[in-house]
Amino acid sequence: MNLTLQRRMARSLLKCGSDRVWLDPAAMEEISEAVTRGDVRSLISSKIIKKKQKKGVSSGRAKHRAEQKRKGRRKGHGKRKGAKGARTPKKERWMKTIRALRSQLRELKTEAKIDSTIYRKYYRKANGGMFKSRAHLMAHMKAEGAFEEKKDTPQIRFGVPSKKVVRKVVRRKKVVKGVV
């Protein structure tokens, strides 16, 4: 049964290509009897002739790929383009590290685990790029004994305590006695 005429009229009425015109296989006799545009229009309204949906590009594969990347996959050496510091610039990496180290030191200082001299010492070391992470900083501080309590004994250099230290000790004794 040749329905090229009906298909051509339907495509012009539906404003699409011939391939997108769907003819109901159960109503072929009825479609072949339609000779005028009016007949075809009535078949379209009664859903015997329909317009097929356009074929699109599925985003399923793209979504799956994005999901895998979110999990940290598909990011190996073969997928990388550009220089070493192209994905995260050197400065950004430095800022992230130094901010973490400084906040860690500030936290230790506020919790009174370290005094201001030790804080300043490690602050300068961090600024010099000595530590690569918080964990590295903490391990270094533990190894050097930065958390240990300092004994209140005067510093003795070359067998004789310095004048400053002696004055400090004398002042403390006066405060204890209630003189000052």
Total of domains in the chain: 3
pLDDT reported for residue 151:
59
pLDDT reported for residue 119:
95
- Domain membership of residue 72 (yes or no) is no
- Domain membership of residue 8 (yes or no) is yes
140 and 156 assigned to the same domain: no
Q: Tell me: pLDDT of 58 over 70.
A: yes
Question: Picking from 41-50, 75-84, 147-156, 159-168, which range would have the lowest pLDDT averaged per residue?
Answer: 147-156
- Alpha carbon distances (Å) from 37 to 20, 42, 125: 18, 9, 87
140 and 162 assigned to the same domain: no
139 and 96 assigned to the same domain: yes
Q: Tell me: pLDDT of 77 over 70.
A: yes
- Domain membership of residue 62 (yes or no) is no
Average pLDDT of the residues in 152-163: 61
Domain assignment of residue 10, given as a range: 4-51
Strands (E), 13-131: 21-23, 49-51
147 vs 109: CA distance, rounded Å? 11
Q: What percent of the chain has pLDDT over 90?
A: 77
Kindly state the helix (H) or strand (E) to which residue 125 belongs, with its residue range: helix 116-127
- Domain membership of residue 85 (yes or no) is no
- Domain membership of residue 157 (yes or no) is yes
> Residue 134 maps to which CATH number?
1.10.1200.60
128 and 170 assigned to the same domain: no
Average pLDDT of the residues in 139-156: 76
pLDDT reported for residue 156:
56
94 and 135 assigned to the same domain: yes
- Domain membership of residue 74 (yes or no) is no
**170: confidence class by pLDDT, cuts 50, 70, 90:** confident
pLDDT reported for residue 162:
72
Give the tens place of pLDDT for each residue, 11-31.
Answer: 999 999 999 999 999 999 999
158 and 136 assigned to the same domain: no
**176: confidence class by pLDDT, cuts 50, 70, 90:** confident
94 and 120 assigned to the same domain: yes
132 and 161 assigned to the same domain: no
- Domain membership of residue 25 (yes or no) is yes
Does the pTM of the predicted model rise above 0.75?
no
User: Collapsing DSSP states into helix, strand and coil, what is residue 149?
Assistant: coil
Question: Picking from 21-25, 52-56, 85-89, 147-151, which range would have the lowest pLDDT averaged per residue?
Answer: 147-151
Give the tens place of pLDDT for each residue, 98-139.
Answer: 999 999 999 999 999 999 999 999 999 999 999 999 999 999
133 and 175 assigned to the same domain: no
- Alpha carbon distances (Å) from 167 to 46, 160, 161: 108, 13, 10
